[in-house]
C-alpha cells in the first residue's frame, strides 16, 4: 500500500467529479521544505516561523537576525521553485514559549502571544517582515498573520508591512510588491466577525487547533481535558462553515492548516463544506490525496447540508460516518 501511495506523488488531487483540491505542507524548519517537495506538496501552506526563534541556546533573548531569517526564508522559497510558500509571522507564547520567563504568565493561551506579541515588540516584527519581503524576490511568498481577533491588528500589521516595503525601496532592495497578506482564523471572534477583516486580506487560513481550543475552552496541551477536544462539535462545524462562506463571498481563498486538514476521517466533510486548500504535515499528503481521488464532492452535498443543521450528537455522528463510508 505504501508503494501505491508513493506513486501518487505527481498525481493532482482531483475528485471524481473533477474538482481540484490544493494539498500543501506544514513545515517548521527550512530543511522540511525538501520533505514537502518529496511528498508532492503543491506548496507550503504553513511555515511555522517561530521554530527559528525557539530553543536557541547562548546569549539569553538572542533572536535570529534579519540576515539569518532572510537566509532561512530564501532557502524555503528556492527549494519550492516558484510554488507558493506561506510564512506565518512569529507565533510565540502559550504552548510555544520564547523564553522561560513566560512560564509565569497568568494564562499563556489568553496572553500576549502571536500578533499581540509582535505588535508589542515592533522591532522584532519589523526585522521579520524585512526578512520575509527580501526573500519574496526569490519565489512566491505569502505572509500569514496569526491570532487575529481585532480589526486594528490587521490594520497595524498591514501598516508595518507597508513601512518595511518603503524601507526596502529606499535601500534599493528587491521584494515582491504584490506579496499577499492573509490572516489565521483561529479565534472564534474572528470567525464570527469576518466581514470586519476580509476586505483587507488576500486570503484566510483556519488554525483548527487553536479554534477548537478557544471555542471549547480547553487547553490544547492539557491531557486532563483531551477527551473534550471534539473537532466535530457543532460549534466548530458552524465556525468552519461561516469562514468558508465569508471567504467565498469575498472571493478570497481560504485554507485549513490546523490538524483537521490532515485527518483522513474529516477530508470528505471539509471538501464537502467547500474547502479547496488543505495544509498538513507532509507525511499525511498521500493518504489525503487518495481519499480525494475516491470522492464525488457534489454527491456529498445533501449530507453536508444535513450535518450543518444537526445538533443531536448521536445523529451527527451517524451522518458523519455515512459521509466517510459513502461509496461512489
231 binds, among ligand PEP, Mg ion, none (CB under 5 to 8 A by kind): none
Size of site (CB under 6 A) for ligand PEP? 10
Q: For residues 172-202, b (16+ Cβ closer than 10 Å) or e, as one string?
A: eeebbeebbbbbbbbbbebbebbeebbeebe
Q: Which residues contact 293 (CB under 8 A, 6 or more apart)?
A: 8, 11, 13, 14, 15, 16
In angstroms, the CA 180 to CA 141 distance is 7
Residues of span 174-193 touching ligand PEP by CB under 6 A:
186
CB of 116 to Mg ion, least distance (A): 13
* Interface with ligand PEP (CB under 6 A), residue from 190, 254, 255, 257: 257
Interface residue with ligand PEP, options 93, 108, 253, 258 (CB under 6 A): 258
N-to-C CA span, the chain = 21
Position among 139, 207, 262, 286 found at the interface with ligand PEP (CB under 6 A): 207
In the numeric block, the cell 487518495 is attached to 290
- Residue 142 binds ligand PEP (CB under 6 A): no
Q: What is the 3-state secondary structure (H, E, C) of 162-207?
A: HHHHHHHHHCCCCCCCCCEEEEEECCHHHHHCHHHCHHHCCEEEEC
Query: Of the listed pieces 51-59, 171-179, 202-210, 230-238, which binds ligand PEP according to CB under 6 A?
Result: 202-210
Residue 48 binding target from ligand PEP, Mg ion, none, CB below 5 to 8 Å by type: ligand PEP
CA distance 13 to 39: 13
**Residues in region 47-66 near ligand PEP by CB under 6 A:** 48
Residue 243 CB, nearest approach to ligand PEP (Å): 13
- Judged by beta carbon distances under 5 to 8 A according to partner kind, the member of ligand PEP, Mg ion, none in contact with residue 277 is none
Closest CA to 292 of 13, 50, 24, 47: 13
Q: Decide if residue 34 touches ligand PEP (CB under 6 A).
A: no
Residues 6+ apart with CB under 8 A from 187: 147, 148, 149, 210, 211, 214
Query: Does 210 help bind Mg ion (rule: CB under 5 A)?
Result: yes
# residues near Mg ion by CB under 5 A: 3
Closest contact distance (angstroms) between CB of 95 and ligand PEP is 7
Distance in angstroms (rounded) separating the CA atoms of residues 245 and 266: 18
Toward ligand PEP, which CB reaches closer, 48 or 276? 48
Among 32, 210, 231, 277, binds ligand PEP (CB under 6 A): 210
CA distances from 217 to 146, 189, 253 (A): 19, 13, 28
In the bound state with ligand PEP, the residue whose beta carbon lies nearer, of 164 and 280, is 280
Which residues lie near Mg ion (CB under 5 A)?
A: 186, 207, 210
Q: Which residues bind ligand PEP (CB under 6 A)?
A: 46, 48, 91, 186, 207-210, 257-258
Amino acid at each position: 500500500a505504501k508503494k501505491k501511495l508513493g506513486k501518487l506523488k505527481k498525481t493532482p488531487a482531483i475528485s471524481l467529479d473533477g474538482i481540484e483540491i490544493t494539498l500543501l505542507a506544514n513545515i517548521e524548519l527550512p530543511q522540511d521544505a525538501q520533505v514537502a517537495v518529496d511528498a508532492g506538496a503543491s506548496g507550503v501552506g504553513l511555515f511555522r516561523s517561530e521554530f527559528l526563534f525557539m530553543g536557541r541556546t547562548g546569549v539569553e533573548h538572542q533572536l535570529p537576525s534579519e540576515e539569518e531569517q532572510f537566509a532561512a526564508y530564501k532557502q524555503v522559497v528556492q527549494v519550492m521553485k516558484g510554488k507558493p510558500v506561506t510564512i506565518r509571522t512569529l507565533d510565540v507564547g502559550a504552548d510555544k514559549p520564547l523564553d522561560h520567563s513566560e512560564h509565569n504568565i497568568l494564562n499563556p493561551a489568553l496572553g500576549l502571544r502571536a500578533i499581540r506579541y509582535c505588535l508589542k515588540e515592533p522591532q522584532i516584527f519589523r526585522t521579520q517582515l524585512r526578512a520575509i519581503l527580501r526573500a519574496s524576490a526569490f519565489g512566491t511568498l505569502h505572509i500569514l498573520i496569526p491570532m487575529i481577533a481585532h480589526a486594528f491588528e490587521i490594520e497595524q500589521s498591514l501598516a508595518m508591512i507597508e513601512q518595511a516595503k518603503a524601507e526596502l525601496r529606499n535601500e534599493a532592495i528587491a521584494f515582491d510588491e504584490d506579496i499577499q497578506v492573509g490572516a489565521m482564523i483561529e479565534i472564534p471572534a474572528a470567525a464570527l466577525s469576518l466581514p470586519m477583516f476580509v476586505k483587507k486580506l488576500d486570503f484566510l487560513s483556519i488554525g483548527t487547533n487553536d479554534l477548537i481550543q478557544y471555542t471549547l475552552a480547553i487547553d490544547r496541551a492539557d491531557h486532563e481535558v483531551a477527551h473534550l477536544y471534539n473537532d466535530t462539535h457543532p460549534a466548530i462545524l458552524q465556525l468552519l462553515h461561516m469562514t468558508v462562506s465569508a471567504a467565498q463571498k469575498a472571493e478570497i481563498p481560504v485554507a485549513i492548516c490546523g490538524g483537521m486538514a490532515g485527518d483522513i476521517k474529516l477530508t470528505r466533510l471539509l471538501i464537502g463544506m467547500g474547502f479547496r486548500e488543505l495544509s498538513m504535515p507532509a507525511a499525511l499528503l498521500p493518504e489525503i490525496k487518495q481519499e480525494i481521488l475516491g470522492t464525488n464532492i457534489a454527491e456529498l452535498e445533501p449530507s453536508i447540508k444535513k450535518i450543518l443543521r444537526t445538533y443531536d450528537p448521536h445523529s451527527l455522528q451517524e451522518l458523519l460516518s455515512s459521509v466517510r463510508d459513502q461509496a461512489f
